Structure 1
Amino acid sequence: MVTVPQTLEASVTQAVEATRVAIASGKSRLQIELAIPELKAMPVAEQFLRQYPDLAETVKVFFSDAGAAALARRDWEGINCKLYGLEELWEPIQPEDQAFLIVASTAVEIKRVEKMCEEAGDRPFILLNPQLQDVAVIGIGAAGRQLRERFINTIEICYYLRPLEQGVLLRSFPNLWQLWWEQESGDYELLGENETRPGNERLAEMMESKLSPSQAPKKGILQSLQQFINALSQ
């Protein structure tokens, strides 16, 4: 059974295992997201590749800019995969490539990322901490809806970790989406599971149905629920 990781290294270990299982299950378009404030994507990507050496031997890694790729080439000692900025190569996907990892791509690059994903075919194509749903860039009308249906909704979120006000939203493939509540002891209680990523209302329902009055935080359950929902909306 998956449990809430206590360290960043442990969460990356979970992400590696979830990715392995997803690829073995025939999934190719994958997303890993550690939605932790202030967390930089490059150290996560480095740790991911170090814990996943068989992928590191075959993967082609792309960063949102060439500067980040240059830093990785300089600092990632012992990781010998190919490292590029998204705009560095005229034809980034080649027939001999075996797998791809896109690190912290933004909504500005979404068309290029989508094209690369299409060209990758059934080869593993992994998005690590992407920022692809920026409404200001993608739009909220027909164009945004088509993009979600055509590309974003085809990606399997194989690992997701988001700390909340008093809990954690976690998904580790092939497990369901799980909502965990942090108790005063520091341990976590599983409040509920969902087949798809739960929306704010569903999360609030899961909290209300599982918590007893004795478990409610001192500031009051209603206030806690509102803060919980506010945090999700940020």
Structure 2
Amino acid sequence: MPPTIPTTLPEATEQAKTAVQAAIKAGKTRLQVEMAIPELKHQPIAQQFLDLFGTQQFKVLFPDAGAAALARRDWQNPDFIIRGLNELADPVEADDDLYLVVNPSSIEVAAVESLCNAAGDRPVVLLNPALEDVAIVGIGYAARQLRDRFLSQIESCYYLKPIENAAIYRCYPGPWQVWRETAPDTYEWVCDFPKLPSGEDVDRVLYGDLAASDTPSNPNNSSAPRKKGFLAELQQFLRALTQ
């Protein structure tokens, strides 16, 4: 049975781990997990991924040395390497099996691209990256080159973004989906997409009066009560996780 949209942060995290495993097994090597939840604490989520890598030799890389030092302290100085992206002169070593990069921003995009190039066919997992900040990456020729050369090669294996009365969701190897909230913590599937839907696509399938043939995968466009609850539930579990 394909996964359904989660209603708790722990459930979302477990789904994300399963999606990463499936993508790596399928031979994907540039992966990202995106949970677009306001005020999400990245370090506790990253810690949940550690058991996914088993006995493999891996490195966990943070945007800067300060964040890496906090993780080493909070994780009680584990025996794997935790560093800032620019702390190591050569972050890729011959014995490495995998890399987990936590919340890199567009400021670190060059370091992330360099890491991916040096890693070769070894998996690099980006956890909640923010690599496409238009204010820094830009919108001109250089930005298009960056997207074509690097950003477009990254497989978004897990994506969860609550929006007003709905959510955008993907769990590899499944399609991109839009789900409508019909009651607190109750969702109905609306539509599948072959790629991340635009805001216009989402508005059309949620609120537009379209025939089934006009949509990518026979969406259910019936009206439904518009109630909140999904984001509040996730935030409740987030607070419990980080206390």
Q: TM-score range by the shorter chain?
A: 0.7 to 0.9
- Opposite residue 117 of structure 2, the aligned amino acid is E
Secondary structure at 1:162's aligned position in 2? Answer: strand
1:53 Cα offset (Å): 4.6
The CA distance in 1 between the partners of 2:165 and 2:12, in whole Å, is 18
1:8 matched residue in structure 2: 9
Matched, 1:54 2:86: no
User: Paired residue for 1:119?
Assistant: 118
Give the partner amino acid of 1:191. Answer: V
Does the 8 Å CA contact 2:166/2:179 hold for their aligned counterparts? yes
Identity of aligned residues (%): 45
Structure 1 residues 18-75: Cα deviation after superposition (integer angstroms, max 9, x where no partner): 000000001000000110001121111112224x1517x4221100011111111111
Range with greater deviation from structure 2 (197-206 or 19-28): 197-206
Given that residues 9 and 47 in structure 1 are in contact (C-alpha distance below 8 angstroms), is that contact kept between their aligned partners in structure 2?
no
Distance 1:212 1:68 in 2: 46
Deviation at 1:81, TM superposition (A): 2.3
Task: Give the equivalent residue in structure 2 for 1:34.
Answer: 35
- Counterpart of 1:181 in structure 2 is 180
The one-letter code of the counterpart of 1:211 is N
Q: Once the 2 structures are TM-superposed, how far is the Cα of residue 203 of structure 1 from its aligned partner?
A: 1.3
Structure 1 ranges of 4+ moved more than 4 A: none
Counterpart amino acid of 1:42? Q
> CA 1:47/1:98 → structure 2, altered by over 3 Å: closer, same or farther?
same
Structure-1 residue corresponding to 2:203? 204
Kindly indicate whether residue 31 of structure 2 is the aligned counterpart of residue 21 of structure 1: no
Alignment of 1:6-155 (within 5 A): 6-50=7-51, 52-54=52-54, 57-77=56-76, 79-155=78-154
- CA deviations 1:68-101 (Å, max 9, x no partner) are 1111111114854210111111111111111001
Alignment partners' CA distance in 2, 1:67 and 1:78: 14
Once the two structures are TM-superposed, the CA of residue 205 in structure 1 deviates from its matched residue by 2.1
Counterpart of 1:12 in structure 2: which amino acid?
Answer: T
How far did residue 166 of structure 1 move? 0.5
> Separation in 2 of the partners of 1:203 and 1:212?
14
Unaligned runs of 5+ in 1: 219-234
Question: Aligned Cα RMSD in Å?
Answer: 1.6
Partner SS for 2:178: strand
Show CA shifts across 1:106-135 (max 9, x none). 111111110110010110111111110011
TM-score, scaled to structure 2: 0.84
Q: Distance in 1 between matches of 2:85 and 2:77?
A: 22
Aligned equivalents of 1:97, 1:196: Cα separation in 2: 32
Distance 1:88 1:176, change over 3 A: same
Separation in structure 2 between the aligned mates of residue 198 and residue 48 of structure 1, nearest angstrom: 27
1:198-233 per-position Cα deviation (integer Å, ceiling 9, x unaligned): 1112112221343324x2549xxxxxxxxxxxxxxx
Q: Following TM superposition, by how much is the alpha carbon of 1:185 offset from its aligned partner in structure 2, in angstroms?
A: 5.6
**Secondary structure, in 3 states, of the residue corresponding to 1:149?**
helix
Aligned residues: 215
Match of 1:221 in 2: none
Q: Aligned equivalents of 1:78 and 1:172: distance in 2?
A: 32
8 A Cα contact 1:49 1:79, kept in partner: no
- In the alignment, the residues of structure 1 paired with residue 16 and residue 29 of structure 2 have an alpha-carbon distance, to the nearest angstrom, of 15
**Which runs of 5 or more residues in structure 2 are unaligned?**
211-219, 228-243
